[in-house]
A and B are shown apart, each in its own frame.
Chain A
Amino acid sequence: MGAQKESTDIQNPPRGIGRRSFLKKSIAAGFAGGGLNGVLAPFAAASDGDAGSDGPILLVIYQEGGNDSLNTVIPHSREDSTLYYRDRPKLAIREEETLMLQDGLGLHPSLGALQGLWDSGDLAIVNGVGQPSPNLSHFKLRNVWASSSLDGDTGSGWLGRYFDHKCSSEDSFDPFVGLETLTSAGLSFRTQSSNTAVTMKNPDLFKYLAANDSHILLPEIDNEFSEQILRKMNDLATTGTRPVLDYARNSIQAAFKSAGEIQEFLRNTKASFPPNNFPNSIVGRDLRNIARYIDTGSRSSVYFTVQKGYDSHTSQFVNNASGRPLLGSHANLLSDLDSAIGAFSTEMKRQGKWDRVVIMTYSEFSRRITENGTDGTDHGAAGSMFVLGGGVKSGLYGQFPSLSDDDRILNNSMDSTTDFRQVYRTILESFMNLSASDAASILRIDAQNFPNLDFLT
């Protein structure tokens, strides 16, 4: 489908009715409004310590499909780099083509903005990240990362459990504790409490239909009566009989509750904001939307988004005019991600919030050391992750895996040197300010065995 318009007459009902009833509702629901150019800021934080005031803002970007880590953080001149060049006769990127880091590693040439952030001391690279006895299934590994459990338990996600922890009582659960720019609710955000954080890809869709759009209802009727009746009926329902029904009801109630805020937000912010130096791609638009929410003082402390398309079994690269494999699908994905992160960091600096932001990228696995026969790479194991932000201690973390034939696992894959849950722990503990024991409990780990990686100040 094509690009969505920011807003249209059909999308936005006439202002009067919606706005009036929103004010009524928001007072009833106890949302305190902060200032935003003299109008109500629906996202504004209700208390100190939320993201909206001065709390941490975590942005997680999932590179779906298995990013080819060896062509992202490239071991061009290390002890065993000859093996990289031996096993990737077509795909390997030469030292002089990479953007230089240190210790014989360089970034893919599409990652210019990331190199800038490295130079300014805002990028940590964690190498060799994986898990014990990995498996090469997208779907298993996707759940392993999302749930922070090696069996890929789909009951709840690591961020969902963080939300449960943060909103400790059932009544205090605020859907805006986290926001994922997906169309389907993901496992990472799944709570144990059957509460739901916000899943929203298209803010224009995020409303219960108003009568004003109808061809047959009288336009002067305040159609939010139907919504009010529904909300009352749901409030009166018996809970605790069936968990799935409770989930559905919570989801619908949370949707109604957050829709008013989102629509008010859309009315009060210019569609053209922030200045659009974000790439015109899905990840670019998602990061731009997130920057826009943050600008209005969104209460969300966690954002989650997905960049799809990394499963590069075939035609991972296209040669450039000089016959070098620097173009094509993988380069395009990295370039897109790089521009989106670059624009986002610039915007956060402009908003004066860069020190409160951490961006973490991950993929379910990396790919083989050896290229396959169709100009691509098959599923592999450990790889590198990026962690960026004003409070990040720039540098290389985790040992870069050995490429030697003897150290390979699962048909020429890199073995891990760092457990992914150490990265999670470091973020929860050193950035989200949880105690080591709370972080460990959320991640279902024994804190002693998963030491903090210390990449955050």
Chain B
Amino acid sequence: MISNLTNFEWNYDHAAHLASRCIMGATRDEVSALFDIGRTQGVEAAVDSLVGRAEDWGNFPFPDWWDGKEISAGGPTGSINDSESRFVHWYLEQLHVANPLGAKMFKFFVDHVPISKKPLLHQNKWIYFFQHFDLCRKHSLGNFKELIHGVSWSGGMMWTLDLKSNSRPRLNENFGRELLELFTLGVNGGYTEEDVLNTAKAFTGRRTEAKHPEDHPYTPYLDDTYSVKFPEKFYLIDTAEKTILGKTFPKISPGQGDVSEHGSAVMDHIFEQPASGTYLVWKLWRYFVAPEPPEELVAKLGNRFKNSYDFEIRPLLKDIFMSRAFYDTKNRGNQIKDAADFMVSCLKNLKVSEPEPALTWPALYFLGYDPMDPPSIAGWAEPEGVGNSWLGLEKALFRSNLPSLWLQETIGFLPVYDDLTSRSIRDIDPPGDFEIKNIIPAHLQEPENLDLLIDELNDHFLPFHRISSKQRAVLIEGYEKDFRQLNVETRVRELIRIFMALPEFQLQ
């Protein structure tokens, strides 16, 4: 039995906690809506409103340059940097406006099975990036096992972990190891070095293929020419009998079944291991709840995830969000927003759109998140857990400055790179779509309503926290004394800048 939160207990704080963890940059309105559903229809209905919502990823089609048919290299303008910034913009838009929980899980899987631009971009293999990210979003609320099967055929992953060059005569265990350690079972998941070796052998022979179209010999880039396939060359495959995780897979002979299913059979066996359920549950708990998951609960949920849900994500998330442990007071407001959470928080709190690609990419980059360049195959530092590493001193300053992009309409805090885009960043206008009236009623901007304005800003930006009366006094004094030479609008913008630089705004 897993103890669930009851309808009688449901209150606004529960709604706020649920919203803040499932919805990037959850707003006051979203919390209220969730609270109302829970109050009138029960906790399960509130959770279902998040978990049950379908996403049509077709609303976020690949940009028209994704398959490279129109250009010879490097994306829409021939500049790799320009294409990268457009790719990152495409990704951020989905995190910002797609089904919130779907987006949150999309980000989770981009981190769980990250691919790196390093081996890909010099080959202009954009197509692999789109295919891989598409796989992650398709399974964001789908099936974990199917996702990992897909990953083993993802061109992006095959380049990132050398799987495309792993063969019987040229064995490379990079993919085999990370499949066990990072993707499915975890470092203490019960496998041995022998299992790593034999898993690597089982995944020999997979190849990516680049055919040059006849009329474009230097354009190894087209849609239908970047397929992933199994080679006809049988000698590339390690056909010997091998034992992996206690099961012996017989020798393969030509003509006996589909040899391309060799790795797939091993994959199915990996998903028979108990750790294949508990490892993802452990990681999801750290991502959504707290850095030290309760062992007993993880074991129970892991067992259900594997044996009852057959690795379907939705019922697992539902269990997590209905459990009493999720709502434990010590878990609330106790997680530092990661870079994307923070960026989306800025967009939603200020009611603005994503900045143009040439600004979105460096903004995320200096928050510590280049989605095409994970620091390692383990993904970004602490996407799960408390997230301390997102707030090193340099990043703390950058986060304090980022809202100025809209509030001060400046790009003065972004470093200038000459080769960042095809244009110089100095020629790029800061976004001009922020308007105070979109978030604050006009009458509250009058100086005589300062108290009410501070209340409103507090509720808007820090819905889970109330500033103290002493802090309020500092704000009032600053507003009346220090800001006296500023016009009314600028004063309000400065107050917003202060609220968004408070440590409470860094947490969810």
Residues of chain A touching chain B, judged by Cβ–Cβ distance below 8 Å, are 1-5, 8, 10-11, 64, 135-140, 154, 175, 182-187, 190, 196, 198-202, 204-209, 211, 213-218, 220-221, 225-226, 228-230, 232-234, 236-238, 242-245, 247-249, 251-252, 254-256, 258-259, 308, 311, 313-314, 372-374, 376, 378-379, 410-411
Contacts and interface: CB of A to CB of B under 8 A. Distances in A.
Nearest to A223: B494
A10 B412 contact: yes
The dominant DSSP class at the A interface is: loop
Interface string B354-387: 0000000010011010000001111001000110
Contact of B410 (A200, A215, A410): A215
Given A184-B392, A217-B486, A1 B417 contact: yes
Contacts of A199: 392-395
Interface of B: 81, 162, 165-167, 169-174, 177, 181-182, 187, 193-194, 196-197, 333-336, 362, 365-366, 368, 375-378, 381, 385-386, 388-398, 400-401, 404, 408-413, 415-420, 426, 430, 467-468, 470-471, 474-475, 478, 482-483, 485-486, 490, 493-494, 497-498, 501-504, 506-507
Contact of A233 (B166, B395, B419, B502): B502
Given A136-B193, A244-B386, A245-B503, A216 B408 contact: yes
- Top-4 shortest CB links A-B: A213-B412, A373-B170, A199-B392, A185-B392
6 contacts: A1-B417, A5-B417, A208-B401, A213-B412, A251-B503, A374-B165
Given A2-B420, A244-B507, A205 B366 contact: yes
Nearest to B413: A209
B173 A184 contact: no
A373 B486 CA distance: 68
B169 A1 contact: no
Contact of B483 (A184, A225, A258, A378): A225
A232 B187 contact: no
A139 B416 contact: no
Contact of A249 (B187, B392, B503): B503
Given A209-B404, A214-B412, A248-B503, A233 B475 contact: yes
Given A196-B392, A233-B474, A236-B474, A215 B408 contact: yes
Given A234-B503, A245-B507, A216 B490 contact: yes
A251 B401 contact: no
A252 B165 CA distance: 46
Given A206-B394, A229-B498, 11 more contacts: A4-B416, A204-B415, A209-B408, A209-B413, A230-B400, A236-B470, A247-B386, A251-B503, A255-B394, A314-B162, A374-B172
Nearest to B166: A374
A273 B174 CA distance: 42
Given A236-B470, A245-B507, A184 B395 contact: yes
Contact of A209 (B197, B376, B401, B415): B401
B389 A185 contact: yes
A229 B454 CA distance: 14
Contacts of A200: 393-394
B390 A184 contact: yes
A230 B393 contact: no
Nearest to A216: B409
A410 B172 contact: no
A352 B351 CA distance: 56
A190 B388 contact: yes
A1 B420 contact: yes
Given A230-B498, A249-B503, A209 B418 contact: no
Contact of B467 (A208, A220, A233): A233
B197 A237 contact: no
Nearest to B479: A229
A211 B410 CA distance: 10
A252 B385 CA distance: 20
